[in-house]
Structures are given as C-alpha cells and as structure tokens.
Amino acid sequence: MMAIQNFGFFLMYYMIHLTIPVSGDDCNDMRFWVGFFAIDCFVESFCVLWMAMGGFIEDNCMFAFGWVLHLLVALPYCISTVGIPVVIYSDPGKNCRVAMGPSGFTLVAVYWTHCFLFLVYVWMMLSITFYSFVKPTFFKKSPVEVSSSLDNL
C-alpha cells in the first residue's frame, strides 16, 4: 500500500508540475518543490518495496537495509510536506496558482490529500516495521507455547 500511495503521489504531482508556468519568478519555488516531491515519491516507491520484500522473505539484513534506505528517502518527503504549503500559500505561490488556472486549485486539493494520507503512511510504516521485524525478532514464541498451540488444533 505504501508503494501504491507513493507512486500515486508521484503521478499526481508530476502532472501538476507540467502545468506550472516556466516564465516568471513567481513560480520558481513552486516548480522546485512540486517537482522535487514528485521525484522523491517515485524513488520512495521502490525503497518501500525493497523494505517490504525483506520482511516478506524474512531476511533481516535486506529488511534493515531497505528500512534505512526508505528512511533516508523519506526525510525529503517529510520536508516537502512542510515546504509545499509554505510555497503554495506565499504571495508568489498564490500568483503562480492563478497563472496555473484550474491546476492551481487541483494542487491545493492534492496537497491536503497528501497531508492527510501522510499520517496513514506513517502508521503503515510503523506497522510494517513491527510485523516484519520487531515482532519476529523480539517476540518469538517459546517451543512450549508452539507445541501447546498445536495441541489445540
């Protein structure tokens, strides 16, 4: 789900990035932040899959590497989650959104959807970390618990 969410945001922000006017100084910051976030979401899609694959095949080294890689790529994601609204609600950003036409309104809707789903994303990250690594590594059942649960079958 995290990979789908990231790739979806890549597509949405990339399509909006194409509508930001190239001429004029009002749109320089907007073009940077929207384009930067689109690329970061694209890369993050693959990092999340790598991390999830490590958990799925129960390879702690691969999971840990994917988790750290995901974390490094997620830091710009977090920064962009703050940087984008700073830009879109600044005076030059408001002028740029007007110059974008309907895409300026779409950018605001996409941002607030992204902001809300960012909380879901954090929950998914914590859940994957717990179920793929923490629980199997630190909360293993003892052989007695396993045999007694098999007896109940």
pLDDT, tens digit (0-9, with 9 covering 90-100), for 2-29: 889 899 999 999 999 999 999 878 999 9
What confidence score (pLDDT) does residue 24 get?
A: 78
Residue 145 has pLDDT above 70, yes or no: no
CA distance 74 to 22: 28
| 37 in Cβ contact with 6 (< 8 Å) | no
Residue 143 has pLDDT above 90, yes or no: no
What confidence score (pLDDT) does residue 14 get?
A: 97
Q: Which of 142 and 47 is assigned the larger pLDDT?
A: 47
What confidence score (pLDDT) does residue 21 get?
A: 94
Which tokens belong to 145? Answer: 């618990």
CB count within 10 Å of CB 82 equals 10
pTM as predicted: 0.81
CA distance 15 to 7: 12
Task: Dump the DSSP string for 54-103.
Answer: HHHTT-HHHHHHHHHHHHHHHHHHHHHHHHHHHHHTSHHHHHHHHHHTHH
| 78 in Cβ contact with 90 (< 8 Å) | no
